[in-house]
C-alpha cells in the first residue's frame, strides 16, 4: 500500500473510525537514539499506519565526497555509521582500490579483516545492548558497553583516535600495528566470550525480553528479498547471503567461520543472529591474529598511489617527490575514467560505494549504499498491527543509525 | 543463470543493438535506453533469477570527460541464490529527465528512487509516492547536480521562521 505523509493524518481508506489519532514519535525521543521522526496513526494502542520522516541529519556527505580526495573522504565516511567507523573506511577504500585496481598487501588484508570483525562485534554489542535497554533491561547494556570500551582502546592504540579512527588509506593503512596492539587484541579474544555469556545469561531466557521480541516485526524471506534487505536482518529471515562468503574480499577466504542464519524473521531472531555472529567474528579474529603475516602494510611506493611514510619523505628524494605528487592540489591521483561498485559486509548489511572516477584525484561521484536507509524503509511494513510499545523493539532490532540514514 | 546466459537471453529478446555490455574490474554492466530499461529489468528479475535490487542511484555526468548524456541511473541486481551481480545502466536527459519506476518490480526501490528524485530531479514515472525524502519539502533545487554549488545558494536563509504553535 502506498504511503503518503498527508494520508497519515487522515483515517485509512474504507475504515470509518474517527477516533484514530496521530502520534509524533521523535525527532527527539530517547528510544529513537538518534534523530528520526515517525508519524504513527493509532487505534487505541494499535498502530494502523507508521510513516517515517527522515532527513533531520542530512549533511551532504555524498556532495562532500565529490570535493575531497580519496584519502580525505575517509574522515567523512567514518561519521556515517559511527557505531562501527572502521567498517565504513574499509568499505570506502575497498571500492576506491577496486577503481584504481590496487591489490593490497597480505598484512594489510589481515589487519583490515581483524578491524572489520572487531567493528562487527562493536556494532552488534550496541545493537543488542540498546535493544535490551529500550525494553527495560539496563544491565545487559552495561555489560555490552564495557566490552565496547575495550574495542575503543584497540582503535585508539592503532590510530590514536577512539571514535573516528580514519585508519585506512588508499593502498594501505595509516600505520602498522605493534606488538602491544596484538596483545590487546589477543586479550580481547580471550576475555570476550565470558562477557558475551553474561549478556546471553541475562537475555536469552529472560521472559520479559522474549515476550517483547518474539513474533514482533516479522519479516518473511520473500519480503526481505523484495525490500532489498541484507546483513543480519535478511539472515534472520532465512536469506543465506553473506558477502564474506559469496564475494570473498580481504582475507576472508583463509578463515573458517559459519554464516549465522535464522528463519523466524522476528525481533528475537534478529537479536539471536547478531549474538551468534559475534562468536563467529571472534573465531575470525583469533585465526587472523595468530597468523598475521609479516611485511609492509601499504603497497609498494612505485605504484604511485600510496602516501609515503614520514621517514622516506624526510630522508629520500623519491619519497619527497611522491608525497608532493599526491598532496599538491593540481597533481594528486589519476583515477581511471570509469566507475565501479564495491560492497562489503558491514555489521548492518551490504555497505557499498559506487565510485565514479574522472581522471583526477577526487571521485566524480561517491555514492553510498547505506544499509540503514534501506532497512528503515521496511519499518512501515513491520509495524502495522502491532502495539505502540513494539515500536522501540522493532527500531532497536533494525539498528537504525541516523547519521548513515541521512548522510 | 550466469551473466553470459542473461546477456544472450536479453539480446535474443530485445535485439543485439539495444543491449550494450561493458566490463570493468568485476563489474559487468548492461547499458540500455530509458524506453527498454523497465522491460530489461523485468526480464532479468522474472527469467534470469536476479531477484534483489541491491542498489539504485544516479550521477550527474555534466562535466564528465566525453559524456554525451547527463543523468546516469544504475541498478545493481543480485541473484540471492548464487550471489551473481549485474549492473544495469541507463541515461536520462534534460529538460525533463524521467525513467520508469521499478517500484512494481521491487518494493525496495521506493526510497532509493525518492532519494534520486530528491537529489537529481529525475522523475520516476509510475512511482506511487514521489516526494522529497532528505531535503525539506519546500526546497526547490536539486543539490547533487553538478551545477549546484557545494555551499548552496542560500536557500537556508530564506526558510520561513515558524513558531511552535504553527508547526
Domains of chain A from N-terminus onward:
6-53 (no CATH), 73-299+372-406 (1.10.645.10)
Residue A255 CB-half CA count within 13 A:
28
User: What span, in angstroms and rounded, lies between the C-alpha atoms of A141 and A128?
Assistant: 8
What tens digit of pLDDT does each residue of A140-158 get?
889 888 999 999 999 999 9
ipTM of the complex: 0.90
pLDDT digits (tens, 9 = 90+) for B117-146: 999 999 999 888 888 888 888 888 899 999
Over residues A72-104, the pLDDT tens digits come to 899 999 988 888 899 999 999 999 999 988 888
Distance CA A272, CA A270 (A): 6
CA-CA-CA-CA torsion for B23, B28, B34, B36, nearest 10 degrees?
A: 120
Residue carrying the nine cell digits 580525505:
A72
Contact B57 A354 (CB under 8 A): yes
Q: Within the 88-147 window of chain A, which residues sit less than 8 Å (CB to CB) from chain B? A: 98-99, 101
Q: Report the C-alpha gap between A186 and A200 in whole angstroms.
A: 22
Q: How many CB atoms lie within 10 A of CB A34?
A: 19
pLDDT tens by residue, B7-29: 888 888 888 887 888 888 888 89
Residue A158 contacts residue A180 (beta carbons within 8 Å): no
Closest of A144, A143, A178 to residue A160, by C-alpha? A178
Best mutation site among B61, B64, B137 for testing chain A: the one with the most A CBs within 10 Å?
Answer: B64
Residue B24 and residue A352: Cβ atoms within 8 Å? no
Instruction: Sort A347 into a burial class: Cβ within 10 Å, 0-12 / 13-18 / 19+.
Output: buried
Task: Quote the DSSP letter at residue A11.
Answer: P
Cα–Cα dist A98/B27, whole Å: 10
Q: How many CB pairs under 8 A join A and B?
A: 110
Measured CA to CA in angstroms, residue B109 lies from A237, A266, B59, B126 at distances of 20, 23, 17, 12
A297-309 mean pLDDT = 80
Residue B90: C-alpha distances to residues A226, A269, B31, B42, B98 (Å): 22, 39, 6, 15, 11
Helix and strand tally (H, E) in chain B? Answer: 3, 7
- pLDDT of B162: 82
At B38-97, the pLDDT tens digits run 988 998 888 888 889 999 999 999 888 888 889 999 999 998 888 888 999 999 988 889
Any chain A CB within 8 A of the CB of B143? Answer: yes
CA angle B66, B68, B69 (to 5 degrees): 130
* Residue closest to A58 by CA, chosen among A300, A391, A405, A396: A405
Please say whether the beta carbons of A40 and A367 come within 8 A: no
Asked if the model's pLDDT at residue A175 lies above 50, the reply is yes
Distance CA A234, CA A252 (A): 20
**Strand ranges inside B47-128, DSSP E:** 52-60, 71-78, 85-92, 98-100, 123-125
Taking Cα atoms as reference points, which of B89, B118, B72, B107 lies closest to residue B27? B89
Q: Where are the alpha helices (DSSP H) in chain B?
A: 3-14, 37-46, 109-120
A13 pLDDT tier (thresholds 50, 70, 90) = low
pLDDT band at residue A9, thresholds of 50, 70 and 90?
Answer: very low
Q: What sign does the CA torsion over A27, A33, A39, A41 have?
A: negative
Q: In a mutagenesis test of the B interface, which of A339, A340, A351, A373 is the best target, namely the one with the most B β-carbons within 10 Å? A: A339
Using alpha carbons, select from A335, A297, A322, A333 the residue that is nearest to residue A172: A297
Q: Which residues contact A264 (CB under 8 A, 6 or more apart)?
A: A215, A218, A236
Distance CA A158, CA A174 (A): 9
Residues A31-73: tens digit of each pLDDT: 667 788 888 888 888 888 888 888 888 888 999 989 888 888 9
Residue A152 CB contacts under 8 Å (≥ 6 apart), including other chains: A162, A163
The span from the CA of A326 to the CA of A224, in Å, is 44
Question: Using CA atoms, how far apart are residues A197 and A147, in angstroms rounded to an integer?
Answer: 12
CA distances from A37 to A33, A221, A247, A376, A388 (A): 11, 27, 36, 11, 14
Percent of chain B with pLDDT over 70: 99
Q: Are A373 and B111 a contacting pair at CB < 8 A?
A: yes
- Using the predicted structure, report yes or no on whether residue A344 has a pLDDT greater than 80: yes
- Mean pLDDT in residue range A196-219: 89
Looking at CATH, the fold of the domain delimited by B3-158 is given as Beta Polymerase; domain 2 (3.30.460)
CB A299 within 8 A of CB A105: yes
> Kindly report the CA angle at B85 between A340 and B59, in degrees rounded to 5?
35
Mean pLDDT of A322-337: 84
The average confidence (pLDDT) of chain A is 87
- H/E stretch holding A24 reads strand A21-25
Which residues on A lie below 8 Å from B54 (Cβ)? 228, 230, 343, 350, 352, 369
Domain boundaries, chain B: 3-158
Place of cell 587472523: A288
- Residue A152: other Cβ atoms inside 10 A: 16
Which residues on adjacent β-strands are paired with residue A172? A169
Give the separation between CA A97 and CA A116, rounded to whole angstroms. Answer: 17
Chain B contact present for A60, CB below 8 A: yes
Question: What is the share, in percent, of chain A residues with pLDDT greater than 70?
Answer: 95
Query: What strand order describes the sheet that includes A46-53?
Result: A21-25, A37-43, A46-53
- The alpha carbon of A64 is separated from its chain's Cα centroid by a whole number of angstroms, namely 20
Q: Is the pLDDT of residue A324 over 80?
A: yes
> In the prediction, which pLDDT does A16 show?
62
B51 CB within 8 Å of a chain A CB = yes
E-strand stretches of A282-348? 339-346
pLDDT(A1) > 50: no
Cross-chain CB nearest to B107 (options A63, A101, A226): A226
Q: Hey, what's the cell of B89? A: 545502466
Strand A365-369 relative to strand B20-24, pairing: unpaired
Residue window 8-47, chain A: list those with CB within 8 Å of chain B.
Answer: none
SS3 B56: strand
Residue A247 is predicted with a pLDDT of 87
Alpha-carbon distance of B123 to B97, in angstroms, equals: 6
- Which among A338, A397, A24, A30 has a CA at the least distance from the CA of A217? A397
Q: Tell me what the mean pLDDT of segment A192-220 comes to.
A: 89
pLDDT at B16: 80
CB contact under 8 A, A340 and B27: yes
C-alpha cell at position A380: 512501515
| A396 pLDDT higher than 90 | no
Which of these, A219, A216, A215, lies nearest to A230 by C-alpha position? A219
Which has more pLDDT, B82 or A7?
A: B82
- The pTM assigned to this predicted structure is 0.90
Question: According to the model, what pLDDT value does residue A284 have?
Answer: 92
CB of A53 less than 8 A from some CB of B: no
In this structure, the strands spanning A339-346 and A172-173 are unpaired
Amino acid at each position: 500500500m502506498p504511503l503518503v505523509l498527508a494520508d497519515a493524518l487522515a483515517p485509512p481508506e474504507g475504515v470509518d473510525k474517527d477516533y484514530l489519532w496521530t502520534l509524533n514519535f521523535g525527532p527527539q525521543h530517547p528510544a529513537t537514539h538518534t534523530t528520526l521522526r515517525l508519524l504513527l496513526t493509532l487505534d487505541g494502542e494499535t498502530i494502523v499506519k507508521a510513516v517515517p520522516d527522515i532527513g533531520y541529519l542530512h549533511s551532504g556527505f555524498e556532495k562532500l565526497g565529490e570535493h575531497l580526495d580519496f584519502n580525505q573522504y575517509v574522515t567523512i565516511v567514518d561519521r556515517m555509521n559511527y557505531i562501527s567507523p572502521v567498517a565504513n573506511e574499509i568499505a570506502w577504500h575497498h571500492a576506491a582500490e577496486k577503481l584504481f585496481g590496487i591489490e593490497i598487501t597480505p598484512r594489510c588484508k589481515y589487519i583490515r579483516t581483524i578491524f572489520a570483525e572487531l567493528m562487527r562485534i562493536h556494532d552488534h554489542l550496541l545493537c543488542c545492548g540498546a535493544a535490551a535497554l529500550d525494553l527495560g533491561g539496563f544491565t545487559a547494556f552495561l555489560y555490552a558497553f564495557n566490552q565496547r570500551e575495550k574495542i575503543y582502546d584497540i582503535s585508539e592504540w592503532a590510530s590514536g583516535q577512539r571514535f573516528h579512527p580514519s585508519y585506512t588509506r588508499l593502498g594501505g593503512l595509516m600505520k602498522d600495528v605493534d606488538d602491544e596492539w596484538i596483545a590487546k587484541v589477543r586479550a580481547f579474544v580471550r576475555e570476550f566470550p565470558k562477557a558475551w555469556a553474561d549478556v546471553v545469561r541475562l537475555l536469552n531466557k529472560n521472559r520479559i525480553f522474549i515476550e517483547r521480541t518474539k513474533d514482533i516485526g516479522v519479516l518473511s524471506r520473500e519480503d526481505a528479498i523484495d525490500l532489498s534487505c541484507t546483513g543480519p536482518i535478511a539472515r534472520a529471515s532465512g536469506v543465506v547471503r553473506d558477502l564474506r562468503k559469496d564475494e570473498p574480499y580481504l582475507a576472508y577466504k583463509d578463515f573458517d567461520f559459519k554464516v549465522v542464519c535464522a528463519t523466524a524473521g522476528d525481533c528475537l531472531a534478529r537479536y539471536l543472529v547478531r549474538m551468534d555472529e559475534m562468536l563467529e567474528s571472534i573465531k575470525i579474529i583469533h585465526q587472523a591474529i595468530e597468523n598475521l603475516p609479516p611485511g609492509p602494510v601499504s603497497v609498494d611506493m612505485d605504484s604511485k598511489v600510496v602516501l609515503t611514510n614520514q621517514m622516506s619523505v624526510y630522508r629520500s628524494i623519491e619519497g619527497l617527490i611522491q608525497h608532493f605528487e599526491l598532496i599538491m592540489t593540481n597533481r594528486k591521483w589519476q583515477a581511471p575514467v570509469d566507475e565501479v561498485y564495491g560492497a562489503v559486509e558491514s555489521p548492518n548489511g551490504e555497505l557499498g560505494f559506487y565510485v565514479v572516477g574522472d581522471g583526477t584525484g577526487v571521485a566524480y561521484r561517491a555514492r553510498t549504499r547505506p544499509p540503514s536507509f534501506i532497512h528503515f524503509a521496511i519499518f512501515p511494513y513491520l509495524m502495522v498491527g502491532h502495539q505502540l510499545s513494539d515500536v522501540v523493539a522493532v527500531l532497536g532490532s533494525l539498528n537504525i543509525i541516523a547519521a548513515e540514514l541521512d548522510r | 543463470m550466469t551473466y553470459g546466459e542473461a546477456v544472450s537471453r536479453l539480446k535474443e529478446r530485445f535485439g543485439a543493438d539495444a543491449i550494450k555490455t561493458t566490463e570493468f574490474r568485476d563489474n559487468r554492466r548492461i547499458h540500455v535506453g530509458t524506453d527498454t530499461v523497465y522491460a530489461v529489468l523485468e526480464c532479468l528479475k522474472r527469467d534470469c533469477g536476479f531477484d534483489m535490487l541491491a542498489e539504485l542511484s544516479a550521477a550527474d555526468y555534466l562535466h564528465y570527460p566525453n559524456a554525451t548524456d547527463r543523468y546516469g541511473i544504475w541498478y545493481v541486481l543480485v541473484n540471492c541464490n548464487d550471489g551473481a551481480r549485474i549492473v544495469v545502466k541507463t541515461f536520462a536527459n534534460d529538460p525533463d529527465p524521467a525513467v520508469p519506476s521499478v517500484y512494481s518490480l521491487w518494493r525496495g526501490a521506493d526510497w532509493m528512487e525518492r532519494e534520486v528524485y530528491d537529489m537529481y530531479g529525475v522523475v520516476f514515472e509510475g512511482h506511487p509516492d514521489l516526494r522529497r525524502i532528505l531535503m525539506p519539502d519546500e526546497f526547490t533545487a536539486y543539490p547533487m547536480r553538478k551545477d549546484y554549488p557545494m555551499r548552496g545558494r542560500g536557500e537556508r536563509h530564506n526558510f520561513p521562521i515558524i513558531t511552535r504553535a504553527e508547526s
